[in-house]
Chains A and B, each alone.
Chain A
């Protein structure tokens, strides 16, 4: 037992030395007094890798992502982000961690009374970027997602696909170290879905760790090199242990 614990501790150090940016160890999540939504989740995400999180509806994908982007604290277990324990992290330190994570929400969560431009600029404004330094990156991002002509449009006047692209632009404009996307292609046609995934891929090649939750089988087949995590009824299937102890990357 003692050896096991020592091995585990050694394992953590090994993971860190490999560049693990996220570590979950025996994490459980329970809402209220109900049954556990997530049980015994253990995995490590290597910095700069691309992951797909799959699973049927209700398997717990969104709950797992919430833990990842610090919208929720787990009921039990250990979560380390950027080599720090975030389960016991004080509230005052959370904003600093959250600014390093970009999130594409399943329901977009755009601010309804801000234009597409201002929605995309929001993370930079939150981070205190000067207004003079803000215009160029926001315009570039609008162009990147093909919405330059819709810069001043409010979310209510945008189509579902356009809202999704604004949400993606908002998530990546701050050049996050981790990008978390919850069903980011759910509201777009297959062509646009592929295009968005290539945007993620481009960002990943710049060094961002990308985690995309999806149940779109066709999407997975387009990125065979991406690693896959599968949730089944709140449990992560990892029979070979490669998610928990990923192989050192050359």
Chain B
């Protein structure tokens, strides 16, 4: 198969070198542009999903929801004591009162946060392992009946699910784009074969094999695909840089986590090469299949 792609200098002289012919290179450029954007979206979302998963999987927030300040304090201390004894707990931090007030101030106003409304006590817990949430919930329930245990992974599960779905959607779009590119190449190959029908007939009669003829068309489509892939890549990179600066301007921690790792950038840069190899392979099989119908 690899040997089939090899082209000798003699093969290259059989027909003139590939030129940017017709609409095919531009259609490939558009396909590649969309494919790179979809791939970038998918890779960015995959990175965000990974980051979100590792950030929240082992975290709990315990709220002691008790109107009586003395009882709330007693239960809070009991919960802290119990948590500090548990081997499954890696880190415990009681959220200071001023932080709590700062949290509720945007919603309830400064006056409301001044003590007129009882605020629950809050404890941030980092577990040694994500599966320890249930034992912690049971233990805390026994020493602090007013405690509500909030597992971050569970509360953010719908968001993680959405990110995961979008990631797979992006992968599907990339696959569709690759399929559409292959379809364009099939049409372009068939058209080129018809355009050069008389030349191919002469070459056949001079003893050229189907593989020799297919190689010539592979070379031609490789030029088109490389050109189209290059144009698509440059356009997509410009768009990605613009989107990146917009995302950075939002300043959101969650949105900011949608970033491409180095391996993602390399994958994007390799996509035009993948497109070229795909185009060459499709051309080879298309030309060989069409030539089978001729003598």
Q: Chain A residues in contact with chain B, CB under 8 A?
A: 69-73, 91-92, 94-96, 98-99, 103, 109, 111, 113-114, 118, 121-131, 134, 170
Contacts and interface: CB of A to CB of B under 8 A. Distances in A.
Contacts of B13: 118, 121, 125, 131
B204 A98 contact: yes
B295 A126 contact: no
Contacts of B207: 95-96, 98-99, 123, 126-127
Given A109-B198, A111-B199, A128-B8, A103 B295 contact: no
A95 B213 CA distance: 12
Greatest chain B CB density within 10 A among A123, A125, A128 is at A125
A130 B16 contact: no
A70 B16 CA distance: 27
A98 B10 contact: no
B138 interface: no
Contact of B295 (A94, A121, A128, A129): A94
Nearest to B9: A131
B206 A98 contact: yes
Interface in B1-38: 8-11, 13-16
B205 A98 contact: yes
4 smallest CB-CB distances across A and B, nearest first, come from A99-B207, A98-B207, A125-B10, A95-B207
A99 B206 CA distance: 6
Interface of B: 8-11, 13-16, 198-199, 201-210, 212, 292, 295
Contacts of B10: 124-125, 128-131, 134
Greatest chain B CB density within 10 A among A91, A95, A103 is at A95
Contacts of A71: 201, 205, 295
A121 B292 CA distance: 26
A217 B206 CA distance: 30
A95 B295 contact: no
Given A126-B212, A130-B10, 13 more contacts: A92-B209, A95-B209, A111-B202, A118-B13, A122-B14, A122-B203, A123-B206, A123-B207, A124-B10, A126-B208, A128-B8, A131-B13, A134-B10
Contacts of A126: 14, 203, 206-208, 212
25 contacts: A70-B295, A72-B295, A73-B295, A91-B295, A94-B295, A95-B207, A95-B209, A98-B204, A98-B205, A99-B207, A103-B206, A114-B16, A118-B13, A121-B13, A124-B10, A125-B10, A125-B14, A126-B203, A126-B207, A127-B207, A128-B8, A128-B10, A131-B9, A134-B10, A170-B206
Contact of A109 (B8, B11, B15, B202): B202
Given A128-B10, A131-B9, A113 B16 contact: yes
Nearest to A97: B207
Nearest to B199: A111
A238 B199 CA distance: 37
Q: Mostly helix, strand, loop or mixed at chain B's interface?
A: helix
A103 B14 contact: no
A61 to B, nearest CB: 17
Contacts of B203: 122, 126
Contacts of B8: 128
A92 B15 CA distance: 22
A69 B205 contact: yes
Contacts of A127: 207
Contacts of A130: 10
A94 B291 CA distance: 13
B9 A103 contact: no
A73 B294 CA distance: 11
A107 B205 CA distance: 14
A123 B208 CA distance: 8
Nearest to B198: A109
Contacts of B295: 70-73, 91, 94
Nearest to B12: A125
A173 to B, nearest CB: 10
Contact of B292 (A73, A91, A114, A128): A91
A72 B294 CA distance: 10
A122 B206 contact: yes
Nearest to A130: B10
Contacts of B15: 111, 113
A211 B230 CA distance: 53
A109 B10 CA distance: 20
Contacts of A125: 10-11, 13-14
A71 B200 CA distance: 12
Greatest chain A CB density within 10 A among B15, B205, B210, B212 is at B205
A108 B158 CA distance: 73
Nearest to A129: B10
A28 B209 CA distance: 27
B154 to A, nearest CB: 64
A117 B249 CA distance: 64
